[in-house]
Structure 1
Amino acid sequence: MRHSNAANRLDRLPISRFHKITLLAVSFAYFFEFADINAFATTAPRLIDLWGTTVDQVAYVTSLSFVGMFFGSVIAGWAADRWGRKKTLIRTTLAFGVFSFASVFSWDIVSLGVFRVLTSAGLSAMTVVAVIYVSELFPAAVRGKYQAYAIVIGICGTPVTNLIASAVVPLSDWSWRLVYLWGAAGVFFVFFARHLRESPRWHESKGEYDKADAVLREIESRVTAEKGPLAEPAPPVEEPPAYKAPLRLLLKKKYLLPTLLLTVLWVTQTIGFFGYSSWAPTLLAKEGFSVEKSIFYVALTTVGAPLGSYLAALVTDRFERKWCLVAFGTVIAACGLLYGLTFNPVLIVVFGFLVNLFERGYTALGYAYSPELFDTRGRSLGTGVSYGLGRLSNAAGPLIIAALYNRTGYQSVFLFIAATWLVGALVLAVFGPLTRRKRGPAEATPAETSPAEV
């Protein structure tokens, strides 16, 4: 067999129980990623009191966590190509759960910082693989919507964790550790493993057409039993197998341009969002709000996060993702700036709610948009490197924010964050490829910069 025709065979499938179980599994992983990613932010105000931790130390731990995210993203891209999407998704999810559990037993800010760096590497690696996995298994015409649905469910981990933190952190001198124990529950993802299937597109990219065909036949038989006879797929487009994707592949024009664009997207998203979410509890506490109130106010704002992901699900396949990203980024900049200009508790919650709503929508759109700019051969590497560079950029972000706060005050932090979002929106508006007209049942050319099939 010279070609298993994975793309066209998957794209003509109706959404079935197979897709829904896959969606539930990815959503579970996302839930505990979002549950854990801001765990340090919710416990930092307490550690300032207990351990005498300084704002600069909070900045260093946060900064190094993003260095961990960079290495996790890059390693994930390599691992997903080498071991497959399914195996890497399972391993990376287990990794961040194990290191989050280790954080429960940290004894000072240094040990906690080490565990947070390792946890962050696992979190970022899992995200990269999950984005690719959904992109390759779901039909092209609706993959953006289901990518957003996964985040709608997963993002609930943020408000749930923040509300848990607001309740348990103030209880005693040790109860902040329960926040990390909660994040460690991601290890239960292992129970979904037997329900997942390897990406046939990955097998096909390796030249393993028989294995790809076997997985496709299993999926098709399950869908046929549930939905009835399937339509004939479009004929395949012959391409040579890609046995590996070396880093130098990204220097080719068709990969370099989308990689640079997505790097800007993820750099501005990372600094813009984590500059807000990682610092809001600490800065509010430093400005005179109690630890309990600062955590509680931030917890209320994160209720907007699931609604934002749902909003993205409504618009992602109906409009150009590029222009949705531009619009969302501009709104986030405005709301984030207004958040920083007020000390009224009601307005803090309102503008923080809007920041979370539109940012999580932005992230869901970005997860769907990113893989579409690459073909199968470059998708894992390009997505991993650009996402990783975005996370690496925030190694400097916390240090910049700490310096701004210490030298020029609270409001300058939010001026910086708003400017970051506007830069990202402008670059996307000018240079972002259009992808909507390229998506369809027989999708072959996902972006103007990538002439190969998605």
Structure 2
Amino acid sequence: MQHSNAANRLDRLPISRFHKTTLVAVSFAYFFEFADINTFATTAPKLVELWGVTVNQVAYVTSLSFVGMFIGSVVAGGIADRWGRKRALTWTTLWFGAFSFLTVFSWDIVSLGVFRVLTSAGLSAMTVVAVIYISELYPAAKRGKFQAYAIVIGICGTPATNLIASFVVPVNDWSWRLVFLWGSLGILFVLFTRQLKESPRWYESRGEYARADAVLRDIEARVAADKGALPDALPPVERVRHAKAPLRILLQKKYLAPTALLVVLWVTQTIGFFGYSSWAPTLLANEGFSVEKSIFYVALTTVGAPLGSFLAALVTDRFERKWCLVAFGTVIAACGLLYGLTFNPVLIVVFGFLVNMFERGYTALAYAYSPELFDTRGRALGTGISYGLGRLSNAAGPLIIAALYNRTGYESVFYFIAGTWMVGAVALAVFGPRTRKARLEAAAAARAEPANA
């Protein structure tokens, strides 16, 4: 066999039980990724009391965590290209779950910081692989919606963690450790691995057409058993098989522009959102709110997160993704600024709710938009590097926020965060490629009968 025709065969499949099972598995990994990513933010106010941790120490732990995320993102692309999307997804999920479990036993801020760096590397790596996996396994016309659906389910891990923390952390001097134990439950992802299939596009990109065809036949049989006879696929278009993409490929014109744009997107998203979510409980506590109230208020705001991902699912395939990102980013900037300008508990919850809702919608849109800017050869590398550089940028973000807070006060932090979001929105508006036309053409082609069938 010279070509397995993976793209056309996958794109013409109706959504079936196979796709929904895959969605549940990926969403489970996302759930505990989102659950784990905020565990330090929700326990930091308690550690300030117990261990005498300072705002600057919180900043250093948070900064180093994002260094770990950068490393994880870069390594994830290589693992996904070398060992496959499915195995990379499994390994990275087990990695962050294992190190979150070890964090339960940390004895000071240094040991906790080390465990958080290693956990964060796994969190970021898992995200990169999951984005690629969904992008390659779902039909082109539906992948944006299912990226968003995975986030809708997964993002529930954020309010779940915050609500659990709001009740567990204040109980006694050791109960904060249970928050990290909760985050480690991502290890149970191993229960789903038998239901997952390796990406046929990955096999095809390596020239392993027989393996790709075998997986495709299995998927097609499952879908046909659920949905009936399948339409014919368009004939394959022969492509030259390339060797493993080296890092320097991103300097080529066709990859450099989208990589640079996505670096801006993920830098502004990372600093803008994590500057808010990682600091909100600690800053509220420092401004006079009790630890219990600060964690509880933030927990209430994160209830908006699943709604934002659902909103993204409604708009992602119906409108141009770049303009959705621009609109969402602008709303986040406005609501985040208003959040920082009030100390009224009701308004804190309302504006925080809106920030979480639109930011999670923004992230779901960005997860769908990012892989579309690359072909199969450059997808893992371009997505991983741009996402990783975004995470690396927040090594500086917490230090900037701590300096702003210590020198010019609480409100200046939120002016900075709002400005960051606007930079991203403007960059997307001016330089962001449109991808909707290509998606519609791919969907139309997948529905059409082959001329020579």
| Counterpart contact for 1:11–1:441, Cα < 8 Å | no
Alignment of 1:358-377 (within 5 A): 358-377=358-377
Alignment correspondent of 1:13: 13
Moved more, 224-233 or 87-96: 224-233
Alignment of 1:176-187 (within 5 A): 176-187=176-187
Does the alignment pair 1:330 with 2:325?
no
Structure 1 residue 194: Cα displacement: 0.4
| Counterpart contact for 1:51–1:108, Cα < 8 Å | yes
Alignment correspondent of 2:351: 351
Q: Deviation digits for residues 26-57 of structure 1, max 9, x if unmatched? A: 00000000000010000000000000000000
Q: Matched residues in 2 for 1:342 and 1:360: separation? A: 22
2:232 match: secondary structure: coil
1:69 match: secondary structure: helix
Alignment of 1:433-448 (within 5 A): 433-440=433-440, 442=442
1:240 match: secondary structure: coil
Alignment correspondent of 1:135: 135
Structure 1 residue 442: Cα displacement: 3.2
Structure 1 residue 444: Cα displacement: 11
Alignment of 1:77-92 (within 5 A): 77-92=77-92
Alignment correspondent of 1:339: 339
Alignment of 1:13-412 (within 5 A): 13-412=13-412
Alignment correspondent of 1:448: none
1:174 match: secondary structure: coil
Q: Matched residues in 2 for 1:383 and 1:293: separation? A: 38
Q: Matched residues in 1 for 2:176 and 2:221: separation? A: 49
| Counterpart contact for 2:141–2:442, Cα < 8 Å | no
Q: Matched residues in 2 for 1:126 and 1:18: separation? A: 21
1:181 match: secondary structure: helix
| Counterpart contact for 1:12–1:441, Cα < 8 Å | no
Amino acid at match of 1:20: K
Alignment correspondent of 1:418: 418
1:342 match: secondary structure: coil
Q: Matched residues in 1 for 2:211 and 2:28: separation? A: 27
1:442 match: secondary structure: helix
| Counterpart contact for 1:371–1:383, Cα < 8 Å | yes
Number of equivalences: 445
Q: Deviation digits for residues 68-125 of structure 1, max 9, x if unmatched? A: 0000000000000000000000000000000000000000000000000000000000
Q: Matched residues in 1 for 2:236 and 2:262: separation? A: 29
| Counterpart contact for 1:308–1:360, Cα < 8 Å | yes
Alignment correspondent of 1:449: none
Amino acid at match of 2:212: A
| Counterpart contact for 2:156–2:305, Cα < 8 Å | yes
| Counterpart contact for 2:298–2:349, Cα < 8 Å | yes
Amino acid at match of 1:319: F
Q: Matched residues in 1 for 2:444 and 2:100: separation? A: 41
Q: Matched residues in 1 for 2:243 and 2:444: separation? A: 20
Q: Matched residues in 2 for 1:234 and 1:143: separation? A: 19
Structure 1 residue 236: Cα displacement: 1.3
Amino acid at match of 1:293: K
Structure 1 residue 234: Cα displacement: 1.3
> TM-score by structure 1 length?
0.97
| Counterpart contact for 1:8–1:441, Cα < 8 Å | no
Structure 1 residue 189: Cα displacement: 0.1
Q: Matched residues in 2 for 1:171 and 1:441: separation? A: 57
Amino acid at match of 1:198: E
Q: Matched residues in 1 for 2:195 and 2:166: separation? A: 35
Structure 1: segments with no counterpart, 5+ residues: 446-454
Amino acid at match of 2:344: N
Structure 1 residue 241: Cα displacement: 1.6
Q: Deviation digits for residues 261-316 of structure 1, max 9, x if unmatched? A: 00000000000000000000000000000000000000000000000000000000
Amino acid at match of 1:422: M
Structure 1 residue 235: Cα displacement: 1.7
Amino acid at match of 1:298: V
Amino acid at match of 1:414: F
| Counterpart contact for 1:139–1:441, Cα < 8 Å | no
Moved more, 396-405 or 251-260: 251-260
Amino acid at match of 2:100: S
Q: Deviation digits for residues 356-380 of structure 1, max 9, x if unmatched? A: 0000000000000000000001000
Structure 1 residue 443: Cα displacement: 6.1
Amino acid at match of 1:80: A
Q: Matched residues in 2 for 1:36 and 1:375: separation? A: 31
Q: Matched residues in 2 for 1:385 and 1:80: separation? A: 13
Q: Matched residues in 2 for 1:444 and 1:388: separation? A: 34
Structure 1 residue 240: Cα displacement: 1.4
Amino acid at match of 2:390: G
Moved more, 239-248 or 356-365: 239-248
Q: Deviation digits for residues 189-232 of structure 1, max 9, x if unmatched? A: 00000000000000000000010000000000111111111111
Alignment correspondent of 2:448: none
Q: Matched residues in 2 for 1:101 and 1:182: separation? A: 8
Moved over 6 A (4+): none
Q: Matched residues in 2 for 1:182 and 1:241: separation? A: 44
What is the percent sequence identity of the aligned residues?
82
2:106 match: secondary structure: coil
| Counterpart contact for 1:6–1:212, Cα < 8 Å | yes
